[in-house]
Amino acid sequence: MNPSQEKNGAVRKIIHVDMDAFYAAVEQRDHPEWRGKPVIVGGRPSGRGVVSTASYEARVFGVHSAMPTSQAYRLCPHGIFVPARFEAYKEASAIIRNVFYEYTDLVEPLSLDEAYLDVSKNHTQNPSATLIAREIKQKIYERTKLTASAGVGPNKFVAKVASDMDKPDGLTVIPPESMEHFLEELDIKKFYGVGKATLRKMQGLGIQCGADLKKWDLFELVQIFGKSGQYYYRMARGLDTRPVQSHRIRKSYGKERTFREDISEREYILRFIEGLSATISEGMRTIPAAGKTITLKLRYDNFETISRSLSLSHHTNDASEISLVTQELLKGTEFGERPVRLLGISLSNLDINEEDQAQQLQLSLDK
């Protein structure tokens, strides 16, 4: 069976909708005087927080999510820094999700601001996924005054990549007969699931685009990239049969360690976070998976346990990004002042790229 087809032989029609700079766009909508200006949602520039979302006007100056707000301020001192208002974002997200359900019950939310839709069969009996995607974008704007970008393809991988091709307010359609050429021409940086470290490794092997990746056989890719090699092999060929899961189970992936002795040294803890972030990144790439919410768990010597979390505007499994965000979250604790007994890092709001990874993924390094 062709990977773009359902069991009955019909071609699947998948839409991936991704809101444009969602948190920042909500702020600009609710504060008309901020429209057209660089808006940065996250911590205070004088504090220890990180950027959650940056408007497109701020991105011109190099500001991006997961960046320390102090660094964002240096890059864009005239930016408008605002704290996150999650109730406002949830309200807008609920309106957007209702639009999706007008067309299909097969909606798989990935976070507040993005979702997959399977419109192969839909409530409007419209045979054109392209027209449905255009209508969805229009209704979202009419009801929320927010723009969305959409990708249409024969499977989830292609639809997700397509939604990022023409941001903001874009619509990219990859029909089944164009999928092979599209993937062969696609810059390897655009392949969803290829992080910074993997990108460097691939480029070192002369893999610059999908056609280059396609030249490598399955055995070679698994030898080089481990289990992730299977994923790269399949995606280079558009072999993605994952269904849109309308009842998606919340997933997380994390590791934690109880130290043999309570730790007070700041440098030791920072080095430990770097190593733990690398281990988590490697594990997530093996699945492969990426998460939007990073959570730090800390237990002091008196067994008091605290947690600090940050939701990004994108999925990540990059070790350096996980480490950076965790270290920023750590600044909101009393580490270095109070001995630490346990430290853990987890990522949630996952996008899982394998069908068999449906259960909670929580590993422990307790000793």
What is the pLDDT confidence band of residue 9, given thresholds at 50, 70 and 90? low
Q: Contact, 258 vs 367, CB < 8 A?
A: yes
% pLDDT > 90, the chain: 71
Q: Does the structure show a pLDDT above 80 at 247?
A: no
Catalytic residue among 27, 114, 256, 328: 114
* Euclidean distance between CA atoms 66 and 203, whole angstroms: 25
The amino acid at residue 240 is D
Is 282 among the catalytic positions?
no
Average pLDDT over residues 244-268: 83
Give the residue among 260, 22, 240 at the shortest CA–CA distance from 118: 240
The alpha carbon torsion through 233, 237, 238, 243 (nearest 10 deg) reads -50
Average pLDDT over residues 185-195: 91
pTM above 0.85, yes or no: no
Average pLDDT over residues 305-317: 91
Average pLDDT over residues 206-219: 97
pLDDT of residue 183: 97
pLDDT of residue 113: 93
- When the pLDDT of each residue in the chain is averaged and rounded to a whole number, the result is 89
* Euclidean distance between CA atoms 142 and 164, whole angstroms: 22
CATH of 252-362 among 3.40.50.170, 3.40.50.1460, 2.40.10.10, 3.30.1490.100: 3.30.1490.100
* Euclidean distance between CA atoms 148 and 142, whole angstroms: 12
What is the pLDDT confidence band of residue 252, given thresholds at 50, 70 and 90? confident
Q: Is the dihedral of CA 74, 76, 77, 80 positive or negative?
A: negative
Q: Contact, 220 vs 201, CB < 8 A?
A: no
CA distances from 176 to 130, 154, 299 (A): 13, 6, 51
* Euclidean distance between CA atoms 235 and 17, whole angstroms: 20
pLDDT of residue 1: 47
Architecture of the structural domain at 14-20+88-236 = 2-Layer Sandwich (3.30)
* Euclidean distance between CA atoms 123 and 242, whole angstroms: 22
Q: Is the dihedral of CA 126, 147, 176, 8 positive or negative?
A: negative
360 CB-contact burial (10 Å; exposed 0-12 / middle 13-18 / buried 19+) = exposed
Q: Contact, 24 vs 53, CB < 8 A?
A: yes
pLDDT of residue 367: 32
Q: Which residue would you say has higher pLDDT here, 362 or 228? A: 228
pLDDT of residue 288: 76
Average pLDDT over residues 45-61: 90
pLDDT of residue 354: 40
Q: Does the structure show a pLDDT above 50 at 64?
A: yes
pLDDT of residue 15: 98
Q: Does the structure show a pLDDT above 90 at 8?
A: no
Q: Spell out the SS3 assignment of the chain.
A: CCCCECCCCCECCEEEEEECCHHHHHHHHHCHHHCCCCEEEECCCCCCCEEEEECHHHHCCCCCCCCEHHHHHHHCCCCEEECCCHHHHHHHHHHHHHHHHCCCCCEEEEECCEEEEECCCCCCCCCCHHHHHHHHHHHHHHHHCCCEEEEEECCHHHHHHHHCCCCCCCEEECCHHHHHHHHHHCEHHHCCCCCHHHHHHHHHCCCCEHHHHHCCCHHHHHHHHCCHHHHHHHHHCCCCCCCCCCCCCCCEEEEEEEEEEEECCHHHHHHHHHHHHHHHHHHHHHCCEEEEEEEEEEEECCCCEEEEEEEEEEEECCHHHHHHHHHHHHCCCCECCECEEEEEEEEEEEEECCCCCCCCEECCCCC
pLDDT of residue 176: 96
255-285 in b/e form (b: 16+ CB < 10 A) is bbbebeeebeeeeebeebbbebbebbbebbb
Q: Which residue would you say has higher pLDDT here, 125 or 285? A: 125
Any idea which of 23-27, 114-118, 225-229, 233-237 has the lowest mean pLDDT? 225-229
Q: Which residue would you say has higher pLDDT here, 70 or 14? A: 14
pLDDT of residue 364: 35
pLDDT of residue 353: 58
Average pLDDT over residues 136-162: 97
Terminal-residue alpha carbon distance, the chain? 48
Q: Does the structure show a pLDDT above 80 at 203?
A: yes
Q: Does the structure show a pLDDT above 70 at 37?
A: yes
pLDDT of residue 361: 36
Average pLDDT over residues 198-219: 96
Question: Which fold is adopted by the domain 22-84?
Answer: MutS, DNA mismatch repair protein, domain I (3.40.1170)
Q: Which residue would you say has higher pLDDT here, 7 or 107? A: 107
* Euclidean distance between CA atoms 276 and 320, whole angstroms: 11
pLDDT of residue 366: 36
pLDDT of residue 249: 53
Most confident of 9-18, 163-172, 312-321: 163-172
What is the pLDDT confidence band of residue 88, given thresholds at 50, 70 and 90? very high
Q: Residue ranges per domain, the chain?
A: 14-20+88-236, 22-84, 252-362
Q: Does the structure show a pLDDT above 50 at 160?
A: yes
